[in-house]
Copies of this chain bind each other. A is one copy, B any other.
């Protein structure tokens, strides 16, 4: 028989840093996709091309890994480049699409959403939500009563994320168009600090 049958599946280079990073990356992905409870260490390890035991060596356990992945998912590249003039429509267009496009930007927020709605992980979030989510939004919005407006803005955004998650696919035709118009209007309205004409 050929030694192909005997060959191990690539003996993996010895590189602690790279391994650790690979695990973390896979964890971010799986946790965002499945949430804490449904994500499985074995799958995370496989996605990272690593043995499960290494998760313990490098992170200590599932929960510790989750916390680290959570923190790492909220590096503050947040809304730095958001342009006031166009962002409302950009967001609206993105939200009209399918959850499978735009993985990069959505990923972090989906992570947050999953974490927030699982009873296991929700307690871990309160601090982080403020520091990495609410606060940036608040600062970006600026103006009067930024706290309250940030709450409304964030809530609205989360709502649209959930809607898109449930919808599962992109909108089309006139429905898409109207959806985008309306969502744009909502965001735009929340960006100004003038009291809305209720």
Contact = CB atoms under 8 A, between A and B. Distances in A.
Interface in A102-121: 113-114, 116-120
A189 B190 contact: no
Contacts of A171: 148, 151
Contacts of A116: 162, 165-166
Contacts of A165: 116-117, 122
Contacts of A156: 155-156, 159-160, 186
What is the total number of copies of this protein in its complex?
2
Interface residues of A, number: 57
Nearest to A176: B148
Interface string A155-198: 11111101101111001001111110111111011100001111
A182 B133 CA distance: 19
A160 B156 CA distance: 7
Interface stretch (A9-17, A29-37, A55-63): A29-37
Contacts of A148: 171, 174-179, 182
A148 B117 CA distance: 25
Considering the complex of A and B, which 9 residue pairs feature the smallest CB-CB distances, nearest first? A159-B159, A155-B163, A185-B196, A148-B178, A117-B117, A155-B159, A145-B178, A185-B198, A148-B179
